[in-house]
Amino acid sequence: MPPSPLLVRVARGAWQWQWQQLMGGLGPADSEGNYRRPEGAFAALPAVPADAAEPEAHVLVVGRSCPWAHRAWLVWSLRQLAASITLVVVEPDPAAGRWRFSEAFLGCETLQELYTQCGAAAGTRATVPVLVSRKSRQIVVGESARLIELLNHWPSPAGPDLEPPAQRQATQHWRELLQGRVNDGVYRCGFARSQAAYDRAETALFDALGEADALLQQHGGDGWLSGPELSLADVQLFPTLIRLELVYAPLFGVSRRPLWQLPGLWRWRSRFHGLPGVAATCWPEAWRRDYFGALFPLHPSGIVPAGPPLATLVGEPPARPNRPDANHDRFEP
Give the tens place of pLDDT for each residue, 15-63.
Answer: 565 556 556 666 778 888 888 888 888 999 999 999 999 999 999 999 9
148 phi, psi to nearest 5 deg: -70, -30
Task: Return phi, psi of residue 183, to 5°.
Answer: -60, -55
pLDDT above 50: residue 196: yes
- Asked if 157 contacts 170 with a C-beta cutoff of 8 angstroms, the reply is no
Q: With CA atoms as reference, report the closest residue to 252 among 191, 312, 307.
A: 191
With vertex at residue 192, the alpha carbon angle to CA 191 and CA 194, rounded to the nearest 5 degrees, is: 150
- CA–CA dist 251, 193 (Å, integer): 15
Of 140, 137, 145, 115, the residue nearest 127 (C-alpha): 115
- Whether the per-residue pLDDT at 290 is higher than 90: the answer is yes
HSE of 226 in the Cβ direction (CA atoms, 13 Å)? Answer: 26
Annotate 245-279 with DSSP letters as a single string: IIIIHHHH---SS-GGGSHHHHHHHHHHHTSTTTG
Residue 173 near residue 97 (C-beta atoms within 8 A)? no
3-state secondary structure of 62: strand
**pLDDT reported for residue 10:** 66
Report d(CA 176, CA 185) in Å as an integer. Answer: 12
Residue 322: pLDDT over 60: no
Q: Per-residue pLDDT for 288 more than 90? A: yes
Walk across the sheet containing 130-133 and list its strands: 108-110, 98-105, 85-93, 58-63, 130-133, 138-141
| Bond into 317 cis (ω within 30) | no
**Percent residues over pLDDT 70 in the chain:** 90
pLDDT tens for each residue of 73-131 = 999 999 999 999 999 999 999 888 899 999 999 999 999 999 999 999 888 999 999 99
In the chain the domains, ranked by start, together with CATH numbers, are 58-152 (3.40.30.10), 165-313 (1.20.1050.10)
What is the structure's pLDDT at 16? 64
Fill in the DSSP letter of residue 61. Answer: E
Residue 4: band (very low, low, confident or very high) from pLDDT cuts 50, 70, 90? confident
Residue 135 has pLDDT above 90, yes or no: yes
Q: HSE, CB side, 13 Å, CA atoms: give it for residue 26.
A: 21
- Determine the Cα angle at 304 with ends 301 and 310, to 5°: 160
The pLDDT of residue 224 is: 97
C-alpha to C-alpha distance for 300 and 318, rounded to whole angstroms: 33
pLDDT 10s digits, 234-250 = 999 999 999 999 999 99
- Give the residue from 302, 27, 304, 42 showing the smallest Cα distance to 188: 27
Question: Does residue 329 register a pLDDT over 50?
Answer: no
Q: Residue 63, SS3?
A: strand
Residue type for position 298? L
What pLDDT does residue 328 have? 39
- Total length of the chain: 333
